[in-house]
Amino acid sequence: MPMITRDIALVAESLRSGGVAAIPTETVYGLAGNIYDAGAIAAIYRIKQRPSHNPLIVHLPNLAALDTVAKDIPALALALAERFWPGPLTLLLPKKDTVPDQITAGKPTVAVRVPNHPLTLQLLASLPFPLAAPSANPFGSISPTSAAHVAEYFGDDFAYILDGGECRKGIESTIIGFNGNQPVLYRWGSLAAEDIEAITGPLQHITHNEKAPEAPGMLLRHYAPDTQTILTSTVAETVAAYADRKIALLRFREPYRHSSVIYQEQLAPDGDLNTAAAALYAAMHRMDKAGADIIIAERMPDHGLGMAINDRLERATHA
């Protein structure tokens, strides 16, 4: 198992010598490597069992580093970066020739963000290269929001997990691309679309397309527990329909009593969707271990971070 540590210098040394390390961000933990080290990047794809056509996000220490990897940056992209970085916003921008095709899976755009986590910002500032980092989970499974989640997923595949505690946001970054100067939402995430639209005006949306996913985070089945999972807006009816099974129940605010429900969690007793988003993946990890035959998840309100939560629940429940 990788060693869980808070020693930034140790992790930096490993990354400098071409190693891979798990790092904390405010959204989820990432599996990081030097974007210019072909061996490190190949190791990330191998360890994650990620298809090579699925590109990686480049993590920068600050906005000033942006033009080392991107060019022809739309004015609106810069405005968003200035407003939301460091933070859970990833921008798709025309890539500089110096960014290896291995990072972008041959695409002309590069995905970039400045993560908002004090340890990882220190780490990035201490390195002479940016870090590519997909979420630190095997392809298709639930993303990790703690060092322990990462440790459970991987054996001796890499040496260190930088322990930054539990992720404050708990859902991946929101991904925005540009059609000229028109912003396009590629992935719902921890930054609410309403907050982006307050600056940009209405966003266009990319809808899922399994054959040619523009952003493979859009794959229909993703973020999935091993236990069969279904999503519902009518908890009482759905629990009744599966009453012959052992049910684990995931709700927004309130418990629901039923003899077939052997385990349950509420994401946000306070009714705040930010609380629910931060709690989602840890709850899904626990639900998956509860010994239930089926997980029934309640659909969240359709606004703010409820959009990102429902997006993940839909992909978790897709057969």
Binding site for Mg ion (CB under 5 A): 135
Binding flag, residue 109, ligand TXA (CB under 6 A): yes
Binding flag, residue 245, ligand TXA (CB under 6 A): no
- The interface partner of residue 145, options being ligand TXA, Mg ion, none and the CB cut-off 5 to 8 Å by kind, is none
Cβ atoms of 132 and 56 closer than 8 Å = yes
Cβ atoms of 140 and 39 closer than 8 Å = no
| Closest distance of CB 317 from Mg ion, Å | 17
| Closest distance of CB 204 from ligand TXA, Å | 14
Binding flag, residue 266, ligand TXA (CB under 6 A): no
- Smallest CA-to-CA distance from 26 within 116, 111, 97 is with 116
Binding flag, residue 133, ligand TXA (CB under 6 A): yes
Of 22, 47, 80, 111, the one binding ligand TXA (CB under 6 A) is: 111
Backbone angles phi, psi at 127, to 5 degrees: -105, 145
Binding flag, residue 27, ligand TXA (CB under 6 A): yes
Q: What is the token pair recorded at 86?
A: 């460091």
Asked if omega into 86 is within 30° of 0 (cis), the reply is: yes
Q: What is the token pair recorded at 104?
A: 């972008």
Helical ranges in 166-302 per DSSP H: 193-200, 235-241, 273-288
Of 2, 55, 144, 304, the one binding ligand TXA (CB under 6 A) is: 55
- Smallest CA-to-CA distance from 173 within 143, 147, 199 is with 143
Whole-angstrom CA distances from 188 to 94, 255, 296, 300 are 21, 27, 22, 14
Binding flag, residue 33, ligand TXA (CB under 6 A): no
| Parallel, antiparallel or unpaired: strands 182-187 and 174-179 | antiparallel
Looking at residues 81 to 100 of the shown chain, list those that interact with ligand TXA (rule: CB under 6 A).
Answer: 90, 92
Nearer residue to Mg ion within complex by CB, 25 or 135 = 135
Interacting residues toward ligand TXA by CB under 6 A? 25, 27-28, 30, 54-57, 90, 92, 104, 107, 109-111, 115, 133-135, 172-173, 175, 186, 214-217
